[in-house]
Amino acid sequence: MASDTRGTVPAADVAPPGANLQREIAGLDALELAGATRRAGRLSRLWSALWPMLSAAAIGVVVWQLVVWSGWKEPWVLPGPAETLPIFFDQLGNGRFWEAVALTMQRAVVGFAAAIAIGVLVGALVSQFRVLRRAFGSLITGLQTMPSIAWFPLAILLFQLSESAILFVVVLGAAPSIANGLIAGVDYTPPILLRAGKVMGLRGLNLYRHLIMPASLPSFVAGLKQGWAFAWRSLMAGELLVIIGDTTSLGVLLSQARELNNTADMISYMIVILVIGIVIDQLFGVADRSLRARWGMDLDRA
């Protein structure tokens, strides 16, 4: 008589007691290890980005101290790191200092945003119309090479001692670089891409928006980075020359420290200005690396 084997499971397929629990625990362990690996990878990338800057800062401090020890200038004229760095860290707890930083950064953001708007408009028009290229191409380069400090007499005559005078010079300092970056990006757009876009029906504004602008992004980002450098330099010069009422900015603090012969405070403000510039440069570096990775040009990940 045949035995009924329906519903039975082969012995080899029967999991021993607790095997499912062990598999679940192993899966959780794998997830934890993956998370730890990702965290370690992020920390490693962060450290690889930080250690060159920290090493450069340490070398700069050592060279600074060696110059002080050489006796080149009197200590009250050129104080060393031991006298200046404590003042720098003390500034971080000063409310007036942060008000000055806030005002300076507000001017920088407003001026740079206006420069981007004007630079993109001018660059787009000049890059698309040959008559404008012949008329204004060299003028834009000339404006880019002109020192920003040379604009301040005219700015003060036009706008007196006001925010508009500072904004005027910041825009004139940054917009030409942004426009030239966009023009260069458009000029180096491969012709085959333009032909392909026209075959696909892109014309006029759509061609510019969907093909030319994405293709010119690397040069445009480089122009933005250079434009920020010119804007930041123009702003610092403006805050030293154009002091508006009782407002307090980094330039005002720097000027007051100079007038009082307080070199330690003056150098501490210069360090703050340098640090802000480095931080903004790193942000542009992140944008540039992200763009290169998207274009498959990130050699570090190849």
Q: Within its chain, how far is the Cα of 185 from the centroid? A: 19
Q: Take residue 214 and report the two structure tokens written for it.
A: 């994405």
pLDDT of residue 5: 47
Q: DSSP code of 232?
A: H
Looking at per-residue confidence, does 32 or 128 come out higher?
128
**Domain assignments of the chain as residue spans, ordered by start:** 81-301
Give me the percent of the chain exceeding a pLDDT of 90. Answer: 13
Provide DSSP, 40-98: HHHHHHHHHHHHHHHHHHHHHHHHHHHHHHTTSS-TTTS--HHHHHHHHHHHTT-HHHH
Average pLDDT for 140-144: 83
Residue 168 reports pLDDT greater than 80? yes
Residue whose token pair is 């380069």: 141
pLDDT band per the 50, 70, 90 thresholds, residue 127: confident
Looking at per-residue confidence, does 162 or 42 come out higher?
162
Residue 9 reports pLDDT greater than 50? no
Average pLDDT for 40-45: 70
Q: How far is CA 125 from each of CA 86, 153, 192, rounded to the nearest angstrom?
A: 51, 30, 22
Can you identify the CATH homologous superfamily of domain 81-301?
MetI-like (1.10.3720.10)
pLDDT band per the 50, 70, 90 thresholds, residue 113: very high
Q: How far is CA 251 from each of CA 231, 244, 272, rounded to the nearest angstrom?
A: 14, 11, 11
The 10s digit of each residue's pLDDT in 175-208 is 999 999 888 888 887 778 778 877 887 777 777 7
pLDDT band per the 50, 70, 90 thresholds, residue 110: very high
Residue whose token pair is 């392909």: 196
At 26, which amino acid appears?
A: A
The 10s digit of each residue's pLDDT in 228-249 is 999 999 999 888 888 887 788 8
Longest dimension (CA), the chain: 115
Q: Take residue 298 and report the two structure tokens written for it.
A: 């990130």
